[in-house]
């Protein structure tokens, strides 16, 4: 670790910013994209649900691999996942239509993207293991602020160009994410394998066993799942509500941006809440 760099917060803020900017394109505007390809609301729900289930399954697998291979750099795990999404987006741009192949490709993009969040969050564990300072609340707040930018801009852009160009914007955002993740990975060169306790490799357990050993955490996780169920339902079908009220993609982008903006004060205040309530 470079001793002159005392905090990972500025760099991790960039990681969070690029992740959530890409999330806006992949998660929020997917519904608009699929509807433009003549998919029904039922098909839209099935495709997005399949992608999120895939992501929820891949995420723990990736996290488990990083736990059991402490010498494997965190940033290098994200790179192939992001490149694969770029390839899928490129295929969608040239072949996207209202058919089964497109449905499968979109579900794969969503699943792969959600799974990369495990790697993004893993940077926090690397900081703890390496003794590097990180204010997660500030970094995550920057991510929410960054989400607003493509949310509003894409909403306006898609008033004037077909939303079928969404894969192009997705590719551009993924390229930026790859660059930022690579830069963040340099922060831990030679550190992760040294800081991680080799004994941890012997203590790794299966996901089911972990749930049994941590009942409180499991209940918390179930509550978070319910929260995200509501969020993803809102994010997926927001465009339907907006259009029913006479709006368009610009209105959806504005509302989606507002919802992200509401998070920011709470994210920035997280460190204070943590100290006050001894979390």
Which of the residue ranges 118-127, 242-251, 260-269 has the most confident prediction, judged by mean pLDDT?
242-251
Name residue, tokens 């030679």: 190
* Residue 4: both structure tokens together: 């002159």
Question: pTM above 0.75?
Answer: yes
Separation CA 259–CA 232 (nearest Å): 13
**More confidently predicted of 152 and 199:** 152
Separation CA 176–CA 113 (nearest Å): 14
| Mean pLDDT of all residues belonging to the chain | 84
- pLDDT-derived band at 198 (thresholds 50, 70, 90) equals very low
CA proximity to 30, closest of 156, 169, 172, 225: 169
> Distances from the Cα of 263 to the Cαs of 72, 236, 256, in angstroms?
33, 19, 12
For the beta carbon of residue 154, count every other beta carbon within 10 angstroms: 24
Q: Rounded mean pLDDT of 194-209?
A: 54
* Residue 238: both structure tokens together: 């927001």
Q: Please give the DSSP secondary-structure letter assigned to residue 5.
A: -
**More confidently predicted of 209 and 15:** 15
How high is the pLDDT of residue 195? 45
**Cα three-residue angle 121-123-125, rounded to 5 degrees:** 85
C-alpha of 276 from chain center: 28
How high is the pLDDT of residue 188? 63
* Residue 72: both structure tokens together: 């494997």
* Residue 185: both structure tokens together: 């990975």
The lowest-confidence range among 58-72, 102-116, 119-133, 186-200 is: 186-200
Q: What is the largest CA-CA distance in the chain?
A: 60
pLDDT of 34 strictly over 90: yes
pLDDT of 192 strictly over 70: no
* Residue 74: both structure tokens together: 């965190």
Task: Convert 89-147 into a string of H (helix), E (strand) and C (coil).
Answer: HHHHHHHCCCCHHHHHHHHHHHHHHHHHHHHHHHHHHHHHHHCCECCHHHHHHHHHHHH
Separation CA 88–CA 111 (nearest Å): 12
Burial class (CB in 10 A: 0-12, 13-18, 19+), 124: middle
Separation CA 185–CA 4 (nearest Å): 17
pLDDT of 171 strictly over 90: yes
């Amino acid at each position: 670790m470079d001793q002159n760099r005392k905090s990972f917060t500025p760099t991790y803020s960039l990681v969070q910013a690029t992740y959530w900017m890409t999330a806006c394109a992949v998660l929020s505007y997917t519904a608009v994209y699929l509807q433009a390809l003549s998919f029904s609301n039922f098909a839209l729900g099935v495709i997005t649900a399949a992608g999120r289930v895939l992501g929820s399954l891949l995420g723990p697998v990736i996290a488990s691999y990083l736990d059991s291979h402490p010498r494997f750099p965190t940033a290098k795990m994200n790179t192939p996942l992001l490149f694969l999404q770029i390839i899928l987006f490129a295929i969608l741009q040239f072949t996207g239509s209202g058919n089964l192949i497109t449905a499968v490709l979109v579900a794969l993009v969503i699943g792969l993207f959600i799974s990369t969040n495990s790697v993004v969050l893993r940077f926090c564990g690397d900081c703890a293991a390496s003794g590097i300072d990180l204010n997660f609340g500030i970094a995550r707040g920057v991510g929410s602020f960054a989400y607003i930018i493509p949310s509003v801009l894409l909403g306006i852009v898609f008033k004037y160009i077909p939303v079928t160009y969404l894969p192009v914007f997705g590719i551009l955002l993924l390229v930026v994410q790859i660059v930022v993740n690579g830069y963040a990975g340099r922060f831990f060169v030679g550190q992760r394998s040294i800081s991680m306790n080799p004994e941890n490799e012997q203590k790794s357990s299966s996901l089911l066993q972990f749930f049994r050993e941590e009942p409180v955490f499991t209940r918390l996780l179930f509550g978070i799942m319910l929260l995200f169920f509501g969020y993803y339902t809102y994010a997926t079908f927001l465009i339907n509500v907006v259009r029913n009220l006479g709006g368009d993609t610009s209105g959806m982008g504005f509302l989606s941006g507002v919802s992200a903006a509401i998070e920011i004060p709470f994210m920035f205040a997280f460190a204070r809440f943590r100290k006050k309530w001894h979390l």
